[in-house]
Amino acid sequence: MPATIVEPGKAPFQKVDIDTISLDIIENALRNARTEMDATLFRTAMSPGIREQGDAFPLIADRDGKMIVGQFGSFIGGFLEGYDGEIEDGDVIWLSDPYACDGAVSHNNDWLIIRPIFRAGRLVAWSSMFGHQTDIGGKVPGSMPTDATSIFEEGIRIPPIKLYKKDVLQEDILKLVLHQVRMPEWCRADLHAIVASCRVAEKRIHEICERFGDDVFASATDELLARNKRAMHQLFTTAVGEKPVSFEDYVCDDGRGYGPFKMKCTMWREGDVVILDFDGTDPQAAGSINFFLNENMLKMFFGIYMIMVFDPQVMFNDGFYDLVDVRIPERSLLKPEFPAALSCRTHGLGRLFDVLGALLGQGQPEFLNAAGFSSSPHLMFSGFWAGSNDWFQLFQIGFGGIPGRPFGDGPDGHSLWPGFTNVPNEFLERYFPLVITEYSSIPDSGGAGQNRGGNGILMTYRFTNAGTIAVHDDRWFIPPWGVNGGEPGARSTKLLRRADGSRTVLPAKCDNISVEAGDELDYITWGGGGWGDPLARDPELVALEVRRGLVSKDGARDKYGVVLAGKAVDTGATEALRAKMRKNRPEPSIFNFGPGMNTLRQNALTETGLAAPTPPRW
């Protein structure tokens, strides 16, 4: 039974014609309010994952719950369908259970706050924000066990409940939840910061309505949605054909010895509607890499990708949703059945972006991106400070190489999400018992191409206190593929070097690895795939990157055919070498996946000393 919205002053909004200037003012006021939500949160949260890295996502929606400004698309519709209760002025809804909101949030660590905004007894809008909590209880510190087989192992699950009823905080509920977590001070501060950010948006919407009128505001949100739909309709009819195209990629493993896991999508257009059909995607995993994909979230991912590639001036919102039909098989990797584990779903999320990019570019290879979004690497480090009962706990998101693109190189060592930032090394060394001995771009790890894939990052941690670490990553035996003649990026690797001199290559997904003071971890992320023929890259640019340490001298010669004499390009030798390389190589293909799947998997397993994984048990 869907939610009941209590509106004692309810009356229909009147449709009003809006001049272009007023519409632009309202649009930019909403954009600014969204930015102010972020600023409020980042300045008042305590956990480094939110405060330093920005792992939180704001949303302002119209009265029907459709996103006007935000990033992930609206999750309010899924919430309203699953919430059996009344929503009144002054309520603040809190939830984290993906299964209770149709995947609106995708694992228990994401705490979601939803605030209805009323004026004179009428619902006019919604504000919302969710942020990743460093710890929510469960079997491991960080609450994201790589070996989980059900969501019950992944920390406290919060169904849709009222944190505030008519603006009165429900202290007992908050006390109950915080009793389950390892970092209650951080969780309390982050939660109140999220609520504060939603209240900021509410204040700004009241200001807009007081300036222009409630009816004008409602009509403006309608027009912003309609304008987006018109623009997206033009993009879809131009860029998506009626002939089906398919692509598949793989998540390497599930942390339990099973894998790889296939993600497949077929895309075509029927009239005005684009179909995204995931038939052929593998069944759900026994481990925690399942990604419960909300259909509206996928539509927004697809729309944002289209906008960023073809027309970045388009404001993305939920207006175009009825132009996309999403079909996801039940009990698959992207629509698992309760109580499947979900905590490590970022690997599937990253792979989804690579698949969408491959689909959209096949019809127009000049707009094709290589692979490299791929995952969102995590490191957890926790324990008791030496000589005390004080607990420390680090959750950190690492960065990989972004793919080479039609319009330029992929950034080196950048986040999957463009708004994320790194945690400053000085912050890490101040608040946690570790020292960062190296933080550098890895030469040659980005796939060679006319436009180079971004290099991966080497981050070396020296632990100064005993504790346990956990690693969450992917692309450790299936590299990010190159396109249009570009080469694949390098794979990720995690090397633990003990103080006694022993060395262990860790799997990409592992928990409860004990470390002692003096141990060091080389945390190496993947490189992005290359775009275009490497032999077409400007030799002077290659030489500049050699001087900057982004490409090695051997890499310049072997990958780009550029011969250096000292620090300068040897033009004659370069032309001769490139001519020889062109003559001896096969014709470049659209996609370059590198060595075969079985070879890649065995290489990775040999490095770690693990046995060959058992085929998945469905």
User: 291-310, pLDDT tens digit by residue?
Assistant: 999 888 889 888 887 777 66
Residue 397 CA to residue 580 CA, distance in Å, equals 43
Q: Kindly indicate the confidence band of residue 611, based on its pLDDT and cuts at 50, 70 and 90.
A: very low
User: 357 and 481 share a domain?
Assistant: yes
Mean pLDDT, range 582-597, rounded to an integer: 85
Q: Are strands 86-87 and 4-5 parallel, antiparallel or unpaired?
A: parallel
322 part of a folded domain: no
Q: Over 90: is that where the pLDDT of 1 sits?
A: no
453 and 446 Cβ atoms separated by less than 8 Å: yes
In this predicted structure, what is the pLDDT of residue 330?
A: 96
User: 254 and 214 share a domain?
Assistant: no
In this predicted structure, what is the pLDDT of residue 614?
A: 41
In this predicted structure, what is the pLDDT of residue 9?
A: 79
In this predicted structure, what is the pLDDT of residue 612?
A: 44
304 and 353 Cβ atoms separated by less than 8 Å: no
In this predicted structure, what is the pLDDT of residue 288?
A: 95
Q: Residue 160 carries which side chain, given as an amino acid letter?
A: P
Q: How far apart, in Å, are the Cα atoms of 375 and each of 289, 349, 425, 479, 526?
A: 11, 7, 22, 12, 9
Question: H/E element holding 567?
Answer: none
User: 49 and 135 share a domain?
Assistant: yes
Residues near 581 by beta carbon (within 8 Å), at least 6 away in sequence:
535, 561
In this predicted structure, what is the pLDDT of residue 597?
A: 56
User: 96 and 64 share a domain?
Assistant: yes
Instruction: Report the chain's mean pLDDT, rounded to a whole number.
Output: 91
User: 327-352, pLDDT tens digit by residue?
Assistant: 999 999 999 999 999 999 999 988 99
User: 184 and 289 share a domain?
Assistant: no
Q: Kindly indicate the confidence band of residue 54, based on its pLDDT and cuts at 50, 70 and 90.
A: confident
What per-residue string of b and e applies to 419-430 under the rule 16 or more CB within 10 Å gives b? ebebbeeeebee
Lowest mean per-residue pLDDT among 236-245, 321-330, 456-465, 550-559: 236-245
- Looking at the chain, the whole-number percentage of residues with pLDDT higher than 90 is 74
**Which of 232, 248, 272 finishes a domain?**
232
80 and 3 Cβ atoms separated by less than 8 Å: yes
Distance of CA 44 to the CA centre of its chain: 23
122 part of a folded domain: yes
In this predicted structure, what is the pLDDT of residue 610?
A: 52
Question: H/E element holding 493?
Answer: strand 493-497
Q: Over 90: is that where the pLDDT of 517 sits?
A: yes
**What angle separates helix 20-44 from helix 184-212, to the nearest 10 degrees?**
160
Residue 366 CA to residue 485 CA, distance in Å, equals 12
Q: How many domains does the chain have?
A: 2
Q: Over 90: is that where the pLDDT of 416 sits?
A: no
484 part of a folded domain: yes
Residues near 28 by beta carbon (within 8 Å), at least 6 away in sequence:
none
In this predicted structure, what is the pLDDT of residue 615?
A: 37
In this predicted structure, what is the pLDDT of residue 418?
A: 67
564 part of a folded domain: no
In this predicted structure, what is the pLDDT of residue 601?
A: 53
SS3 string, 511-534, reads EEEEECCCCEEEEECCCCCCECCH
Mean pLDDT, range 541-548, rounded to an integer: 97
User: 135 and 58 share a domain?
Assistant: yes
Q: Kindly indicate the confidence band of residue 37, based on its pLDDT and cuts at 50, 70 and 90.
A: very high
In this predicted structure, what is the pLDDT of residue 605?
A: 54
Lowest mean per-residue pLDDT among 122-136, 200-214, 223-237, 426-440: 223-237
User: 395 and 490 share a domain?
Assistant: yes
Q: Over 90: is that where the pLDDT of 74 sits?
A: no
543 part of a folded domain: no
Using CB atoms within 10 A of its CB, is residue 293 exposed (0-12), middle (13-18) or buried (19+)? buried
User: 337 and 459 share a domain?
Assistant: yes
Q: Kindly indicate the confidence band of residue 618, based on its pLDDT and cuts at 50, 70 and 90.
A: very low
Mean pLDDT, range 193-222, rounded to an integer: 97
Residue 282 CA to residue 265 CA, distance in Å, equals 11
Q: Kindly indicate the confidence band of residue 238, based on its pLDDT and cuts at 50, 70 and 90.
A: confident
User: 222 and 371 share a domain?
Assistant: no
Q: Quick check: helix, strand or coil at residue 119?
A: strand
Compute the half-sphere exposure of residue 223: CA atoms within 13 Å on the CB side of its CA. 18
190 and 165 Cβ atoms separated by less than 8 Å: no
Residue 139 CA to residue 137 CA, distance in Å, equals 7
In this predicted structure, what is the pLDDT of residue 95?
A: 95
**Which of 190, 210, 232 finishes a domain?**
232
Q: Are strands 378-384 and 467-472 parallel, antiparallel or unpaired?
A: antiparallel
559 part of a folded domain: no
User: 163-174, pLDDT tens digit by residue?
Assistant: 999 999 999 999
Q: Over 80: is that where the pLDDT of 312 sits?
A: no
**What angle separates helix 346-362 from helix 295-310, to the nearest 10 degrees?**
50
Mean pLDDT, range 372-379, rounded to an integer: 85
In terms of phi and psi (left: phi > 0; alpha: psi -120 to 50; beta: otherwise), the region of 593 is alpha
Q: Over 80: is that where the pLDDT of 179 sits?
A: yes
Q: How far apart, in Å, are the Cα atoms of 460 and each of 380, 499, 512, 517, 528?
A: 14, 14, 19, 14, 20
Lowest mean per-residue pLDDT among 262-266, 372-376, 428-432: 372-376
User: 102-140, pLDDT tens digit by residue?
Assistant: 888 889 999 999 999 999 999 999 999 999 999 999 999
Q: How far apart, in Å, are the Cα atoms of 605 and each of 513, 526, 590, 613?
A: 18, 17, 29, 9
Mean pLDDT, range 426-437, rounded to an integer: 96
User: 397 and 527 share a domain?
Assistant: yes
In this predicted structure, what is the pLDDT of residue 76?
A: 87
Q: Are strands 273-277 and 324-327 parallel, antiparallel or unpaired?
A: parallel
Q: Quick check: helix, strand or coil at residue 114?
A: strand
Could you list the residue range(s) of the whole structural domain that residue 63 is in? 4-232
Q: Kindly indicate the confidence band of residue 73, based on its pLDDT and cuts at 50, 70 and 90.
A: confident
User: 276 and 172 share a domain?
Assistant: no
Angle at 446 between CA 569 and CA 502, to 5 degrees: 110
Q: Residue 27 carries which side chain, given as an amino acid letter?
A: E
Q: Residue 8 carries which side chain, given as an amino acid letter?
A: P
In this predicted structure, what is the pLDDT of residue 519?
A: 98
Mean pLDDT, range 207-235, rounded to an integer: 94
Lowest mean per-residue pLDDT among 253-267, 404-418, 596-610: 596-610
406 part of a folded domain: yes
Token pair 């906008």 in the structure block, residue? 307
User: 481-513, pLDDT tens digit by residue?
Assistant: 999 999 999 999 999 999 999 999 999 999 999
Q: Are strands 434-441 and 493-497 parallel, antiparallel or unpaired?
A: unpaired
User: 374 and 464 share a domain?
Assistant: yes
552 part of a folded domain: no
In this predicted structure, what is the pLDDT of residue 297?
A: 84
